[in-house]
Structure 1
Amino acid sequence: MFTTRRLLTLLFGPAVQRQFHVRYWDGTLEGPPRPTPATLVLKVPQALRRMLLPPSDLALGEAYIFGDFDVEGNLEHLLAQAVSLGDKLLNPLVAAQVFALLLGLPGEPRPAPRPAFESRNPAHTKDRDASAIRYHYDVGNDFYATWLDEKMVYSCAYFATGEETLEEAQTIKLDRICRKLRLKEGEHLLDIGCGWGGLAIYAAKNYGVRVTGITLSPAQAEVARARAEAAGVGDKVSIEIRDYRDLEPTTRYDKVASVGMFEHVGLAKMPQYFAQIYRLLKPGGLVLNHGIVKEITPAFVHWGFGLLERYLNSRSFIQNYVFPDGELSRLSEVNLRAEHAGFEIRDAENMREHYALTLREWVRRLETHHQELLDRGLVDEVTYRIWRLYMSGSAQSFAAGRIGVVQTLLAKPWPGGEAGLPLNRRDIELERA
């Protein structure tokens, strides 16, 4: 325990000054005399070694999901403390001391099962994309339903005041998308990556449009179709299991929404993605492209002319356990590809603070249903921990500005340049009558 205590002091300072408590494997508790948001529970003497060697979020994540350590209280708060170590460890003297102390801890290997996602196809081919999507979304409809809102919207909500319930915030978000697209009764909307049908059903029911929703997940499609029928819009909403690349431009759409999907496209495939949407859209049409982008990269990541960033990307917890082949780009890179396809950028709204609030509510609901999820056999403890860690870490990244989520409105003007948009955004911001 002596070596572990020295390590914690070196990394986080004296126990009485830390922002969290620590409970050791023998039950000893140490920390400041005041309450803190979280307690780090080290289950075994080798916990810190497994968490920090080799240094990566994959090592930390595996140590958590396989039970070497636990977190009581606010996991996001503790992850923020861990992120703060990056710049400190670039000091060679500190890094050398930490490495020496880690090697002094017990080093028994922990046999850990590997992630289930496997594919021999190259990244972002149709077959591999379908496998990656199903790996994430086919965990189980009932699992997602325990912590999502009643519409099962699995993307960033919009908190107009910060006081809304999750259900209210998701409804506001769906309505803002419809307003930004200036949906009109009788129009045909394409919903790329339609999920469980939340946007498609809302748009059909409240704006009178026909909707074609596409997903690569059969589990999602089944629920989306049933929900559309139950909502009385089964005749207006068509849900297909289809890759966006397989849509034929023989059908042209008035408007297109892509919400929380383009993170799966990959930067190399982005020109093809926007070119396909451009072909599918009628002149004068609008596209709402909503997704996560890279924002501020921590200074320590730039070390070694990008070598450290490439190393960390190769040992990513989210890539291995949550979103295989997921790829974040900068907004400037995404919008450049959209412009090259012929689109005009008309509006962009960064909603990262909203996503932090959304994720915190998802985590709260997930934690509330922890035992229920296990008792019903919906997931095992490892899967529960994967989602708790991934969503808590994502909330912290959005709050800190390392990643953002942006809704970009794209127009395909008529040949003469007419885009058909109003001179102001009043129709988006004013409440509906």
Structure 2
Amino acid sequence: MSPFPQQALASSRQIVSLLFGPPSRRSFHVRYWDGSQEGPAGSTPATVTLTSPASLRRMLWPPSDLALGEAFIFGDFDVEGSLEHVLAQAVQIGDQLLRPAVAARVVAALLSLPDTKRPTPNLNFDDTSKTHSKERDAHAIRYHYDIGNDFYKLWLDERMVYSCAYFKTEHDTLEQAQTTKLDRICKKLRLQPGERLLDIGCGWGGLAIYAAQHYGVTVTGITLSPSQAEVARERAEAAGVGDKVKIEIRDYRDLSASTRYDKVASIGMFEHVGRAKMPKYFAQIYKLLRPGGLLLNHGIVKEIAPNFIHWGFGTVERYLNAHSFLQNYVFPDGELRRLSEVNLRAEQAGFEIRDAENMREHYALTLRQWVMRLEDHHAEILARGLADEVTYRIWRLYMAGSAQSFTAGRIGVVQTLLAKPLPSGEVNLPLGRADIEA
């Protein structure tokens, strides 16, 4: 039975205080469904609005980022201002719930709130084939990337580069930072006119076109997304490099080793490979590279995880993975591994590690630019039918949460330069990195 409105309000205020301290010490305001508000004096980066007496129960019970994420995308709470700031404060929830006395009081208060159920969400990704099979990988990629090219155009840079930019200063525009990133990739690969470059997971063709224009290479770009391939081909023709850039809808496992490449770039694709397929991934690229060739492997990796993640011989970690907002709504089957594990698999395939650069601060800056642009186009997205409100909220939450995770060091994004040595052991690289930094 639902409690009286004043009881629900009192329980909700108690929960917020237990988790975040008294109003005067919080860094955000809280507005309740009756219009009342509490928080510190003066302005704050954000205001959290609880839209009903059931809000906190839906947000926090049972505890998982899936529950919190669904509560946001279905409107149980809203955030005015910086969603990233609110998510940074939400880390306190886990810390407080690890204290038994606090956890008991929070749970008792949560269970006193109305237990109203929302309709079961339709996640659309219902592929039952084997995880990381070619068919299921293609479905997972299209689930994420085929939302619509016009949707992505509103908040990506003019080249539609959907991976971490590289900021020379925090004042760089997104366009400047993405151009710097593309040029940095080409320099790390030491691209030379006439070389053959394979771009695995080429997206909308930003790197392929840039490399052909500025470094004189011929590029084969592969993607599993038909909508990406269509735009990449159109853009290559418009840029005057249609004869140098070939875009194919193809799985990397289907590439024939009869064609050898001088250089390979895999940018923002590795997260979709999966732990079980990692050895085959590196072995396949090793076959595709000529002796002396280079691979730039760019992907998100795990970094610092809270100690409680490993409790119960991995039981907590398995529970959280099964109740992951990102897995259910954003990146089906996506897997993040530690850099040490990734590099071990690369070495086992025969690669030599030549350079590694963690760019997590750059990804936080990139994501903040994307979120700002997405929020600026909120009304247009809905008016043009590019996405509904739930989809918009999914993307706002996913990108703001990712920015906070990169800032906090829970995840990183690393560019690793790998070489396939010549039989003599040579890799024909300069002694230093001056050419990259020039």
TM-score, structure 1 normalization: 0.99
Name which of structure 1's ranges 132-141 and 17-26 shifts more when overlaid on structure 2: 17-26
Alpha-carbon deviation of 1:144? 0.3
* Aligned pairs for 1:38-49 within 5 A: 38-49=46-57
**Partner-residue secondary structure (3-state), 2:15:** helix
* Unmatched segments (≥5 aa) in structure 2: 1-8
State the partner residue of 2:60. 52
Of residues 176, 201, 204, the one that matches 1:168 is 176
State whether residues 344 and 411 of structure 1, in contact with CA within 8 Å, keep that contact through their aligned partners in structure 2. Answer: yes
Is contact 2:296-2:418 (8 Å) kept?
yes
Partner residue in 2 for 1:66: 74
Partner of 1:368: 376
* Letter in structure 2 aligned against 1:334: V
1:333 aligns with 2:341: yes
Tell me the matched-pair count: 430
1:33 equivalenced with 2:20 (yes/no): no
Whichever residue aligns with residue 163 of structure 2, its letter is: S
State how far apart, in whole Å, the 2-side matches of 1:71 and 1:391 are: 14
Q: Unaligned stretches of 5+ in structure 1?
A: none
Aligned to 1:311: 319
The answer on whether the counterparts of 2:198 and 2:264 sit within 8 Å (CA) in structure 1 is yes
Which amino acid in 1 is paired with 2:147? Answer: V
Distance 1:229 1:298 in 2: 49
Secondary structure of residue in 2 paired with 1:303: helix
Given that 1:349 and 1:406 are in contact with CA atoms closer than 8 Å, whether structure 2 keeps it comes out as yes
Pairing partner for 2:211 from 174, 180, 203: 203
Separation of aligned partners in 1, 2:345 and 2:155 = 35
Displacement of 1:108: 1.0
Aligned CA-pair RMSD: 0.7
Letter in 2 for 1:394: S
- What is the match of residue 396 of structure 2? 388
Q: What residue number does 2:266 align with?
A: 258
Is this contact kept in 1: 2:60–2:67, CA < 8 A? yes
What secondary structure, in the 3-state scheme, does the structure 1 residue paired with 2:355 have? Answer: strand
Q: Supply the AA of the counterpart residue of 1:71.
A: V
Return the letter of the residue paired with 1:269: K
Counterpart mapping for 1:69-148 below 5 A: 69-148=77-156
Distance 1:94 1:7 in 2: 10
CA distance in structure 1 between the partners assigned to 2:92 and 2:408 by the alignment: 11
Match of 1:190 in 2: 198
CA offsets, 1:176-217, max 9 Å, x none? 000000000000000000000000000000000000000000
SS of match in other structure, 1:248: coil
Report if aligned partners of 1:260, 1:290 keep a CA contact under 8 Å in 2: yes
**Mapped contact 1:189–1:257 kept (Cα < 8 A):** yes
Q: Distance in 2 between matches of 1:376 and 1:60?
A: 28
Residues 20 and 92 in structure 2, CA contact (< 8 A), matched pair in contact too: no
Give the structure 1 partner of residue 354 of structure 2: 346
- Check whether the contact 2:73–2:394 (CA below 8 A) recurs between aligned residues: yes
Alpha-carbon distance in structure 2 between the residues aligned to 1:415 and 1:363: 48
- Relative to structure 2, which stretch is displaced further, 257-266 or 107-116? 107-116
Q: What letter matches 1:39 in structure 2?
A: T
- Tell me the amino acid that sits aligned with residue 64 of structure 1: F
Q: Is the 8 A contact 1:294 1:402 kept in 2?
A: yes
TM-score of the superposed pair, with normalisation by structure 2: 0.97
**Which position in structure 2 is the counterpart of 1:219?**
227
**Is residue 2:410 matched to residue 1:402?**
yes
CA distance in 2, matches of 1:8, 1:118: 36
- In 2, are the aligned partners of 1:66 and 1:112 still within 8 Å (CA)? no
Give the letter aligned to residue 54 of structure 1: P
Give yes or no for contact 1:293–1:403 (8 Å, CA) kept in 2. Answer: yes
Percent identical pairs in the alignment equals 75
Structure 1 counterpart of 2:250, which letter? R
How far apart, CA to CA, are the structure 1 residues paired with 2:267 and 2:197? 13
Counterpart in the other structure of 1:154: 162
CA–CA distance in structure 2, aligned partners of residues 112 and 354 of structure 1: 37
Match of 1:421 among 429, 433, 438: 429
Deviation (angstroms), 1:302: 2.7
For each residue in 1:230-286, what CA deviation from the matched residue of structure 2 results, as whole angstroms up to 9, or x when unmatched?
Answer: 000000000000000000001000000000001000011000000000000000000
SS of 2:313's equivalent?
coil
Task: Tell me the equivalent position of 1:280.
Answer: 288
1:13-65, CA deviations, whole angstroms, 9 ceiling, x for partnerless residues?
A: 11111110001111111110021101001011100000001100000000000
Query: Partners of 1:396 and 1:318 in 2: how far apart?
Result: 14
Which of these residues, 3, 15, 22, is aligned with residue 30 of structure 2? Answer: 22
1:180 matched to 2:188? The reply is yes
What is the Cα deviation at residue 310 of structure 1? 1.1
Counterparts of 1:22 and 1:274, CA distance in 2: 49
Cα distance in 1, alignment partners of residues 38 and 120 from structure 2: 30
SS at match of 1:338: helix
Aligned mates of 1:22, 1:76 — CA distance in 2: 16
User: What's the offset of the Cα at 1:96?
Assistant: 1.1
Q: Matches of 2:389 and 2:429 in 1, distance apart?
A: 50
Deviation at 1:300, TM superposition (A): 3.0
